Amino acid sequence: MFRCDDRRREMRLHAGFSSDGFQWEIEPAPIEWIVPDGIDQPEYGYDPRVCWLEDRYYVTWCNGWHGPTIGIGSTRDFKSFEMIENALLPFNRNGVLFPRRIGGSYMMLSRPSDNGHTPFGEIFLSQSDDLVHWGRHRWVMKPEQPWESTKIGAGPVPIETDEGWLLIYHGVLTSCNGYVYHWGACLLDLEEPWRVVARGDSYLLSPQMLYEQVGDVPDVVFPCAALADSATGRIAVYYGGADTVTCLAFTTVDNLMTFVKG
């Protein structure tokens, strides 16, 4: 867990390295994207997801380009980063790739947004043959329970299981004092991942620790990355606390599977 200390509050992506997953070395300089001709440099970038796909790591992030949208790029070594394109038009956030082709196509979850603190949000899926052109959009799911009633968005890259794709997502409730972020979880169909096979009937985590309740943005737990060990089924989830610290929580595939099946 480490404190965000960029005093400029600039939203830029930085590479980080760790030998144990706890102690992280964050590069002081933000990532410089190699940008193809005709593509604008990011105005800002935040909430990245990293996905190993076929032969390299792909990064999708909330990219500042005439509003927030989904930037997509890749790296093989976390030293050199190449931006591909903006996958979607503004306004969009929480773009998350699936870690393999499904039915021959790349697939991405995203949450269409507006240009502010968007007070609505549902999860959609888009398909592509080249990671550049996206279409065959399918609607995945919308808020259903009180704790997620304002909006939902995909969290870490989905985890493949025999029974479907395990998706941890965030859900937001609007109290009279602002947004409260929670975790939810659901299971998506393996072959048609826009179909929700199971969905937990409660939240999985809510802000209950002081470092989740107090900070730059109170009452936020925001899951962004998950490491799953296929041998043991253990899962480590990195998530933001109060938009101020990065936290780490542990669970297992079995636990999540029990949870989403209710």
Contact footprint for a second copy (CB under 8 A)? 7-11, 38, 40, 65-67, 85-92, 110, 112, 114-115, 117, 120, 122, 124, 126-130, 132-139, 142, 145-147, 173-180, 201-203, 206-207, 210, 213-220, 243
State in angstroms the smallest separation of the CB of 50 from a second copy: 21
State in angstroms the smallest separation of the CB of 146 from a second copy: 5
Task: For residue 183, list its beta bridge partners.
Answer: 170, 205
If 0-12 CB within 10 Å is exposed, 13-18 middle and 19+ buried, where does residue 106 land?
buried
State in angstroms the smallest separation of the CB of 54 from a second copy: 19
State in angstroms the smallest separation of the CB of 129 from a second copy: 7
Bridge-based pairing of strands 33-34 and 81-86 is parallel
| Token duo for residue 101 | 């082709």
Instruction: Name the residue nearer to a second copy (CB basis): 10 or 229.
Output: 10
- Cis ω on the peptide bond leading into residue 2 (within 30° of 0)? no
Q: In the 8-state DSSP scheme, what is residue 28?
A: S
Rounded CA separation 142/149 (Å): 9
Instruction: Name the residue nearer to a second copy (CB basis): 33 or 228.
Output: 33
| Token duo for residue 196 | 């929700």
Instruction: Name the residue nearer to a second copy (CB basis): 114 or 163.
Output: 114
Give the chain's largest Cα–Cα span: 49
State in angstroms the smallest separation of the CB of 197 from a second copy: 17
Instruction: Name the residue nearer to a second copy (CB basis): 202 or 230.
Output: 202
- For 56, phi then psi, to 5°, come to -165, 175
Rounded CA separation 32/81 (Å): 7
Rounded CA separation 230/224 (Å): 19
Question: Cα dihedral sign for 91, 116, 10, 179?
Answer: negative
Instruction: Name the residue nearer to a second copy (CB basis): 24 or 147.
Output: 147
Instruction: Name the residue nearer to a second copy (CB basis): 78 or 120.
Output: 120
State in angstroms the smallest separation of the CB of 40 from a second copy: 8
Instruction: Name the residue nearer to a second copy (CB basis): 53 or 227.
Output: 53
DSSP states of 107-130: EEEEEE--SSS-S---EEEEEESS
State in angstroms the smallest separation of the CB of 70 from a second copy: 10
